[in-house]
């Protein structure tokens, strides 16, 4: 279902000083069109995207894309021979085409992460009255469960950073940056704003919401689904699937059997037991590449200075962000999920394992910056089977649990010690933020395979050449980061149904088809579109 109706065009790459007013970019765009012989009188100019160009520390720029549309809503053609690059501007709406097949029962969406939420919301808004379930808790109860884990070390395997309303992305930075080229990404941002996200995410090149705001947005989305006739059920884990006599699907859950016309599998990337159940039930599941590594923490002010020089602290630039990579070895090491002014969070979902992740609040006002530093893991590294992929992740988490003292403290090592092969140096200027400092001195070599540590050391040195101070001896590492993406993929057809299961739709990050909040949401929307195009709205 194409969603690529053009409504105007973008004039890209207009660079201005951080001290300039952003509307100057619109004036430059209008002047550029006038120079090209196009009257700007009937056109509207709006800031579409804003990014930071910090390649030259003495000349940091804010770079704008300006959206040009007709004031009367008519069409506008892409101009030629401008001094700036031009690209089409797409409509933010989602195209809907209704099917005619009668539903025996409402559809069931399994998982309340971004894929499940956006899928269920679109279904609800078009009369399909979906039920959406999650093995974890509501946002409020989930936050309380996480707080208990942070303070007391009591892990709830069913409700934690990985499981519950909002999915794993809720306890992150609420990052919405995606590299997929799909017009529905703009639709996702707009819908987030409809439920309370700040409007600035519509124009920021690296939009984020922040965990503190995202939890409320998730609640509002679920409330809207219920207002439209949908049902929301927490603490409801999917344990089995079978076909019903009338051709529908029966979900076997911890809260009993649920009959549905079709099922969306919007699993999180940590639903290891659910993967096992699917494989036992004949679903085609394959191993895929993923990454593992550590979290690195620096003082945020040092990152700002390294990125922006004398412009560090400028209110229009915000807290400094980076993305670094090096593939010269043929394997690849890169930074991932960078959290400015954030903290390292306890992300375990299984007893006896330690997992780290990163989180920021909307203000990004914490003392430290943190990021994953990850190494690519190939299927041949773990036997190229789904079971081997999961066992590989789990073995690292258990090694970290042991190195941290077997009480969910995280193993920690300074970068100086890691690079020199030493251990035992206490943190100094950079203080670990995991569980309010509940870390134990250890060696990352005790937690991660030799090939991963070799790549991490090479990567740290490489990144320091690109971002001065990245490999500073006082920076700290904590481990292990293993949940960067799903280790497996549930195979599906072009219509998004699981192979051999024509009423079941795997989607999102947990199914192996997305890599972050926005791309997962887009995949959930696509699943909903396919279902809507097949079935008629549900009528009792």
What pLDDT, in 10s, does the model give residues 305-357? 999 999 999 999 999 999 999 999 999 999 999 999 999 999 999 999 999 99
Which of 1-5, 301-305, 458-462 shows the lowest per-residue confidence on average (mean pLDDT)? 1-5
* Domain span at 13: 6-90
Q: What is the pLDDT of residue 93?
A: 81
Please check whether residues 117 and 231 belong to one and the same domain. Answer: yes
Which pLDDT score is estimated for 540?
Answer: 65
Q: Residues 170-188: pLDDT tens digits?
A: 888 878 888 787 889 999 9
Q: Are 242 and 484 in contact (CB under 8 A)?
A: no
Q: Are 339 and 360 in contact (CB under 8 A)?
A: yes
Last residue within a domain, chosen from 62, 90, 118: 90
Instruction: Give the distance, in angstroms, between the CA of residue 261 and the centroid of all CA atoms in the same chain.
Output: 29
Matching residue, tokens 């971004």: 114
| 276 and 153 assigned to the same domain | yes
The reply to whether 145 falls in a domain is yes
Do 441 and 416 reside in the same domain of the chain? yes
Can you give 89-112 as a three-state secondary structure string? EECCCCCCCCCCECCCCCCEEECC
Residues 346 and 467 in one domain: yes
Same domain, 25 and 141: no
DSSP assignment of 251-305? EEETTEEEEES-EEE---TT-HHHHHHHHHTT--EEE--EEEEEEEEEEHHHHHH
The per-residue b/e assignment along 443-453, b for 16 or more CB within 10 angstroms, e otherwise, is bbbebbbeebb
For the segment 356-397, what is each residue's pLDDT rounded down to a tens digit?
A: 999 999 999 999 999 999 999 999 999 999 999 999 999 999
Residue 178 falls inside a structural domain: yes
pLDDT digits (tens, 9 = 90+) for 396-434: 999 999 999 999 999 999 999 999 999 999 999 999 999
Q: Within this chain, do residues 81 and 114 fall inside the same structural domain, yes or no?
A: no
Both 464 and 497 in one domain: the answer is no
For residue 480, the number of C-alpha atoms closer than 13 Å in the C-beta half-sphere is 30
Residue 217: pLDDT over 90: yes
Q: Which of 248, 246, 251, 291 is nearest to 267 (CA)?
A: 251
CB atoms within 10 A of CB 53: 12
Residues 435 and 513 in one domain: no
Q: Is the pLDDT of residue 56 over 90?
A: no
Q: How far is CA 484 from CA 335, 393, 487, in A?
A: 11, 11, 9
Least reliable range by pLDDT among 34-43, 108-117, 170-179, 286-295:
170-179
- Using pLDDT thresholds of 50, 70 and 90, give the confidence band for residue 4: low
Q: List all residues 6 or more positions away from 84 whose beta carbon is below 8 Å from its beta carbon.
A: 11, 12, 13, 14, 29, 32
Q: What is the mean pLDDT of the chain?
A: 95
Q: What is the pLDDT of residue 178?
A: 84
Q: Taking Cα atoms as reference points, which of 353, 289, 336 lies closest to residue 486?
A: 289
Q: What is the pLDDT of residue 177?
A: 83
Q: Is 101 contained in some domain?
A: no
Spatial separation of the C-alpha atoms in residues 431 and 474, rounded to whole Å: 9
> Which residues sit opposite 103 in a β-bridge?
none
Categorise residue 474: left if φ over 0, alpha if ψ from -120 to 50, beta otherwise: alpha
Query: Considering the domain boundaries, does residue 274 fall inside one?
Result: yes
Indicate if 342 and 461 belong to the same structural domain: yes
Instruction: Give, in degrees to the nearest 5, the angle at Cα 16 between 12 and 17.
Output: 155
Over residues 475-518, the pLDDT tens digits come to 999 999 999 999 999 999 999 999 999 999 999 999 999 999 99
pLDDT value of position 104: 87
Question: Predicted confidence band at 77 (pLDDT cuts at 50, 70, 90)?
Answer: confident
The answer to the question of residue 406 being in a domain is yes
Residue 386 included in any domain: yes
Q: By percentage, how much of the chain surpasses pLDDT 90?
A: 90
Single out the residue of 331, 285, 337 nearest to residue 512, CA to CA: 285
Mean pLDDT, residues 440-468 taken together: 98
Nearest to 232, CA basis, from 142, 120, 119: 120
Distance between CA atoms of 6 and 88, rounded to whole angstroms?
Answer: 6
514 Ramachandran zone, left/alpha/beta (phi>0; psi -120 to 50): beta
Residue 141 placed within a domain:
yes
Measured at the alpha carbon of residue 411, what is the angle toward residues 410 and 413, in degrees to the nearest 5?
A: 130
Look up the pTM and report it: 0.95
Q: Are residues 176 and 248 in the same domain?
A: yes
Residue with tokens 């707009």: 190
Task: Please say if the pLDDT value at position 2 is more than 50.
Answer: no
CATH number of the structural domain spanning residue 498: 3.50.50.60
Closest by CA to 206, choosing from 314, 324, 315, 49, is 49
CATH number at residue 22: 3.30.70
Residue 3 has pLDDT above 70, yes or no: no
For 78-114, the pLDDT digits (tens) are 898 899 999 999 887 888 999 999 988 999 999 999 9
Mark which of 462, 481, 500 sits at the end of a domain: 481
431 inside domain: yes
Q: What is the rounded distance in angstroms from the CA atom of residue 536 to the CA atom of residue 311?
A: 56
Is 469 found in the same domain as 344? yes
Structural domain total, the chain:
3
Same domain, 317 and 465: yes
DSSP 8-state symbol, 501: B
């Amino acid at each position: 279902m194409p969603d690529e109706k053009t409504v105007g065009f973008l004039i890209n790459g207009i660079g201005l000083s951080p001290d300039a007013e952003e509307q100057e970019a619109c004036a430059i765009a209008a002047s550029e069109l006038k120079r090209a012989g196009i009257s700007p009188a009937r056109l509207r100019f709006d800031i579409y995207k804003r990014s930071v160009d910090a390649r030259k520390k003495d000349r940091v720029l804010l770079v704008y894309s300006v959206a040009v549309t007709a004031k009367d809503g008519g069409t506008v053609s892409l101009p030629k021979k401008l001094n700036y690059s031009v690209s089409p501007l797409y409509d933010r709406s989602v195209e809907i085409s209704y099917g005619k097949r009668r539903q025996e029962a409402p559809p069931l969406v399994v998982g309340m992460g971004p894929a499940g939420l956006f899928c269920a919301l679109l279904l609800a808004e078009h009369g399909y009255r979906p039920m959406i379930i999650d093995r974890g808790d509501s946002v409020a109860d989930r936050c309380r469960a996480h707080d208990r884990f942070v303070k007391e070390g009591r892990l709830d395997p069913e409700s934690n950073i990985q499981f519950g309303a909002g999915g794993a992305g809720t306890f992150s930075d609420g990052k919405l940056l995606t590299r997929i080229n799909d017009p529905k990404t703009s639709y996702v941002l707009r819908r987030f704003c409809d439920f309370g996200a700040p409007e600035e995410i519509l124009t920021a090149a690296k939009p984020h919401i922040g965990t503190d705001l995202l939890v409320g947005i998730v609640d509002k989305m679920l409330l809207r689904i219920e207002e439209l006739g949908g049902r929301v059920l927490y603490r409801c884990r999917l344990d089995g699937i079978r076909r019903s006599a009338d051709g529908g699907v029966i979900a076997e859950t911890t809260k009993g059997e649920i009959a549905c016309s079709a099922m969306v599998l919007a699993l999180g990337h940590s639903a290891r037991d659910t993967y096992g159940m699917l494989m036992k039930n004949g679903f085609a599941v394959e191993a895929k590449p993923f990454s593992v590594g550590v979290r690195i923490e620096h003082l945020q002010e040092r990152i700002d200075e390294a990125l922006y020089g004398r412009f560090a602290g400028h209110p229009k630039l915000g807290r400094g962000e980076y993305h670094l990579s090096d593939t010269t070895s043929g394997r690849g090491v890169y930074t991932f999920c960078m959290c400015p002014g954030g903290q390292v969070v306890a992300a375990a979902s299984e007893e006896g394992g330690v997992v780290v992740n990163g989180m920021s609040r909307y203000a990004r006002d914490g003392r430290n910056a943190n990021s994953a530093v990850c190494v690519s893991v190939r299927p041949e590294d773990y036997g190229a089977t789904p079971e081997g992929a999961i066992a590989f992740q789990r073995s690292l988490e258990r090694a970290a649990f042991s190195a941290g003292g077997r009480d969910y403290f995280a193993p920690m090592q300074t970068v100086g010690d890691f690079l020199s092969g030493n251990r035992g140096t206490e943190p100094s200027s950079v203080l670990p933020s995991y569980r309010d400092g509940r870390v134990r001195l250890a060696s990352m070599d005790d937690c991660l395979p030799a090939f991963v540590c070799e790549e991490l050391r090479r990567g740290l040195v490489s990144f320091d050449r690109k971002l001065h101070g990245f490999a500073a001896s006082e920076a700290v590492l904590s481990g292990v980061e293993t949940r960067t993406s799903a280790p497996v993929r549930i195979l599906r057809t072009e219509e998004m149904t699981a192979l051999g299961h024509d009423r079941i739709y795997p989607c999102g990050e947990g199914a192996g088809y997305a890599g972050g909040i926005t791309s997962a949401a887009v995949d959930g929307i696509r699943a909903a579109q396919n279902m809507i195009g097949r079935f008629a709205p549900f009528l009792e």
